[in-house]
């Protein structure tokens, strides 16, 4: 299990590189949709289209690496804020769609990581590995996807990792319901720029890189 830290570190660094690439493409206007374009499009959606779009957006965003090239968190934020105009029922249904889509993405991450670990790396579950929620550090979709894959890569039991992730996502979704209700009163979503959206992407990418670098450093020092 000595190499587990290296695998987990690589998981975080790969995600960081993907986020930096996406943010750079948006910043230099390389035909990648940014916040301004997303607001204009999503404002035209209504009813069941919002629920489906919310589910699909967070599902793609919640996928490891793949989600780094898709502005899912931004989409979900915008759609949820816009859904408030449809009333309380529409707002809550949108948040529920986000929760279900996020859980589905987590299941795909964990199953894929387990399959890769067993079939490609010839590794089994470590019965001594302790699955920890770390809700405060991994509630953001990109961090949660990285953490799901990293835990399985380190030998965590897939089912325990899934239920741990489920708890964190439930807490995060409830917090989102409250926070976005307040944000809807304070922020005019139509005035958010692409540059502001990219700043958030770069912050997440930097944190992901630091986490990965620390894990690899720990692995090297142990070697």
The H or E element spanning position 39 is helix 35-42
- How many Å from the N-terminal Cα to the C-terminal Cα in the chain? 12
Residues 6+ apart with CB under 8 A from 127: none
The pLDDT of residue 136 is 84
The pLDDT of residue 138 is 85
The pLDDT of residue 121 is 59
**pLDDT tens, the chain, 223 aa long:** 445 556 666 766 776 777 677 667 766 765 555 555 555 555 555 566 778 878 888 888 888 877 666 655 666 776 777 777 667 888 888 889 999 999 999 999 999 988 877 666 566 778 888 899 988 888 888 789 889 988 888 888 999 999 999 999 999 999 888 887 876 666 555 555 555 556 656 766 777 778 778 777 776 776 5
Quick one: residue 34, left, alpha or beta (phi over 0 = left, psi -120 to 50 = alpha)? beta
Sign of CA dihedral 181, 79, 174, 65: negative
CA distance 152 to 149: 5
CA distance 175 to 181: 10
Reduced to 3 states (helix: H, G, I; strand: E, B; else coil), residue 34 is: coil
User: Residue 207's closest CA among 130, 158, 136?
Assistant: 136
- Using alpha carbons, list the distances in angstroms from residue 221 to 2, 214, 216: 11, 10, 9
The pLDDT of residue 128 is 84
| CB-side neighbour CA atoms (13 Å) of 148 | 34
pTM of this structure: 0.66
CA distance 158 to 136: 21
The pLDDT of residue 167 is 96
């Amino acid at each position: 299990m000595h190499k587990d830290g290296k695998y987990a570190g690589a998981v975080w660094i790969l995600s960081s590189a993907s986020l930096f690439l996406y943010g750079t493409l948006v910043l230099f206007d390389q035909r990648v949709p940014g916040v301004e374009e997303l607001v204009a499009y999503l404002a035209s959606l209504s009813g069941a289209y919002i629920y489906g779009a919310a589910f699909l957006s967070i599902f793609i965003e919640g996928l490891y690496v793949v989600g780094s090239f898709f502005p899912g968190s931004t989409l979900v934020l915008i759609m949820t804020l816009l859904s408030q105009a449809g009333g309380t029922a529409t707002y809550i249904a949108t948040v529920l769609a986000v929760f279900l889509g996020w859980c589905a993405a987590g299941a795909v991450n964990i199953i894929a990581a387990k399959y890769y670990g067993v079939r490609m790396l010839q590794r089994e579950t470590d019965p001594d590995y302790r699955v920890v929620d770390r809700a405060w550090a991994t509630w953001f979709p990109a961090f949660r996807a990285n953490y799901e894959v990293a835990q399985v890569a380190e030998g965590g039991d897939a089912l325990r990792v899934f239920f741990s992730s489920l708890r964190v996502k439930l807490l995060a979704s409830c917090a989102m319901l409250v926070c976005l209700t307040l944000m809807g009163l304070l922020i005019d979503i139509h005035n958010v720029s692409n540059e502001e959206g990219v700043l958030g992407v770069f912050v997440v990418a930097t944190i992901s890189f630091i986490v990965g670098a620390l894990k690899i450093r720990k692995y090297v020092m142990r070697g």
